[in-house]
Amino acid sequence: MKQKFIPVTGPSITEKEVEYVAMATRDGWNQNYKKYIDLFEKKFSKYVQRKYALATSSCTAALHLAFLSLDLKKGDEVIVPNITWIASVEPLYWMGVKPVFADIDEKTWCINLKDIVRKITKKTKAILIVDLYGSMPDIDKILEIAKKYNLKIIEDAAEAIGCEYKNKKAGSFGDVSCFSFHGSKTLTTGEGGMLLTDNVAIFEKAKYYYDHCKDSKKIFWNLGVGYKYKMSNLQAACGLAQLERVKTLTTKKRQIFGWYKKGLSKINGLQLNVEPKNTKNTYWMVTVVFNKKYNVNKEELVEAFAKFNIQARPFFYPLSSLPAINENANTPVSFDISERAINLPCGFNITKENVDYVCKSLLKILKI
For CATH 3.40.640.10, list the domain ranges present in the chain.
15-244
Q: Which residues contact 293 (CB under 8 A, 6 or more apart)?
A: 269
CATH superfamily of 246-366: Aspartate Aminotransferase, domain 1 (3.90.1150.10)
Q: How many CB atoms lie within 10 A of CB 163?
A: 26
pLDDT in tens, 5-23: 999 999 999 999 999 999 9
Cα angle 195-62-98, degrees, rounded to a multiple of 5: 120
**How are beta strands 77-81 and 124-130 bridged, if at all?**
parallel
The class of domain 15-244 in CATH terms is alpha beta
pLDDT in tens, 160-200: 999 999 999 999 999 999 999 999 999 999 999 999 999 99
Q: Residue 273 corresponds to which amino acid?
A: N
Q: Please check whether residue 62 is in contact with residue 195, taking contact to mean a CB–CB distance below 8 angstroms.
A: yes
Mean pLDDT across the chain, nearest whole number? 97
What residues form DSSP beta bridges with 155? 129, 177
Mean pLDDT of 112-118: 98
Q: Which residues contact 156 (CB under 8 A, 6 or more apart)?
A: 59, 63, 84, 88, 128, 129, 130, 131, 177, 178
**Phi, psi of 131, rounded to the nearest 5 degrees:** -85, 80
Nearest partner of 361 among 54, 46, 83, 3, judged by Cα: 3
What burial class does residue 39 get, using C-beta atoms within 10 Å of its C-beta: 0-12 exposed, 13-18 middle, 19+ buried?
A: middle
Q: Residue 112 corresponds to which amino acid?
A: N
pLDDT in tens, 266-325: 899 999 999 999 999 999 999 999 999 999 999 999 999 999 999 999 999 999 999 999
Mean pLDDT of 62-90: 98
Residue 241, pLDDT above cutoff 80: yes
For CATH 3.90.1150.10, list the domain ranges present in the chain.
246-366
Q: Which residues contact 207 (CB under 8 A, 6 or more apart)?
A: 54
**How are beta strands 164-165 and 279-280 bridged, if at all?**
antiparallel
Mean pLDDT of 85-109: 98
Count CA within 13 A, CB hemisphere, residue 350: 30
Q: Which residues contact 191 (CB under 8 A, 6 or more apart)?
A: 57, 58, 181, 182, 183, 235
* Spatial separation of the C-alpha atoms in residues 287 and 1, rounded to whole Å: 28
